[in-house]
Structure 1
Amino acid sequence: MKFSTKEDVEAPIDAVFAMMCDFETFERAAMRRGAEVQRTDTMTAPGVGLSWRAAFMLRGKRRQVELEIVTFDKPNEIVIECRSQGLLTLVTMELVALSKNRTRIMMSFDIKPLNLSARLLVQSLKLAKTSLTKKYKLRVAEFAKSLEDRYKNA
């Protein structure tokens, strides 16, 4: 099951990519929302192999996720692989320079079930795909707006 959307940001592609690579900010944001986040690599610079282990509560259950950057093509693309109980999710973030100060962000979220219970979960998500797509597009638009605001205020 795949969700995808695109948003334009009033900022140069290099600045947008740099903000998207500020993983420490994303770690702190997840921790503020109650997640436990732990880096599991020893890398000092962003790149392929950067990885995390995260745990959080979702719908009354404790969920654990392992995340790893599998593609890092500066300043064009970042792909993060997320593994959890029975699910494999690929989060793809592609950047395209539209002009000197305008960048298009194309984000996709591809969920693949690895076992029967995950397949049932994905099947139930398909029933709500319209509303989930709407929420996904809204969140990506908010993210793009936050990047734009960070660039203007920097």
Structure 2
Amino acid sequence: MKLSSKENIEVPIEQVFDMLTDFDRHERSAMRRGAEVQRTDSLGVPGVGSSWNIGFSFRGKDRKAKLAVTEFDRPYEMTLEAEMQGMDSTVNLQLVALSKTLTRLNVTVEMAAQTLSARLMVQSFKLAKGSLSKRFDSRLATQARDMEDRYSRPA
């Protein structure tokens, strides 16, 4: 299954990429939502090889996932791969500078099931793809407005 969305952000491309790769902020945000996040690499900076073990609750069950950065082309693209109990996912983030202060963020998520239970989960996602796509678009728009707010606030 594949989901994709795009959003224009009124922030220069370099700053958008820096915000997307602020992994410490993303870790804290996930923990505030109840996830357990453990960094598993020893890199001091974002890049290929950055990785995490993540535990969270989804549909009433505890889930575990491994997440890793597999492609990193500053400031244009980053790809993350996730493995979660029978399901593999790829998240691709692409940035395009539309002007000096306007950046388009393209996000694509692809999920592939490896087990029967994961296939059932993906099938339920496919049945709800319309509402899932709307929520995905809405969440990306919220993140884009948050980036604009952070950029416009003085440091």
TM-score tier, shorter chain, comes to: over 0.9
Q: Which runs of 5+ in 1 are unaligned?
A: none
In structure 1, give the amino acid aligned to 2:97. A
The CA distance in 1 between the partners of 2:52 and 2:118, in whole Å, is 22
- Alpha-carbon RMSD across the aligned residues, in angstroms, is 0.7
In structure 1, give the amino acid aligned to 2:101. N
Q: Secondary structure at the match of 1:109?
A: strand
Q: Secondary structure at the match of 1:99?
A: coil
Runs of 4+ in structure 1 over 4 Å off: none
The CA distance in 2 between the partners of 1:90 and 1:131, in whole Å, is 21
> Percent of pairs identical after alignment?
50
Cα offset for 1:38?
A: 0.3
Mapping of 1:58-97 within 5 angstroms? 58-97=58-97
In structure 2, give the amino acid aligned to 1:79. T
In structure 2, give the amino acid aligned to 1:130. G
> Which deviations, in whole Å up to 9, do the C-alpha atoms of 1:89-146 show, x marking residues without a partner?
1111100000000000001111111112111211121111101001100001101111
Q: Provide the residue aligned with 2:130 in structure 1.
A: 130
Cα offset for 1:148?
A: 0.9
Cα offset for 1:40?
A: 0.4
Mapping of 1:2-151 within 5 angstroms? 2-151=2-151
Q: Which runs of 5+ in 2 are unaligned?
A: none
Q: Secondary structure at the match of 1:46?
A: coil
> Which deviations, in whole Å up to 9, do the C-alpha atoms of 1:16-60 show, x marking residues without a partner?
101111000000001111111000011011100000001011121
Q: Secondary structure at the match of 1:148?
A: helix
Query: What TM-score do the two structures reach when normalised by structure 1?
Result: 0.98
In structure 1, give the amino acid aligned to 2:111. I
Query: What TM-score do the two structures reach when normalised by structure 2?
Result: 0.97
Q: Secondary structure at the match of 2:130?
A: helix
Cα offset for 1:78?
A: 0.7
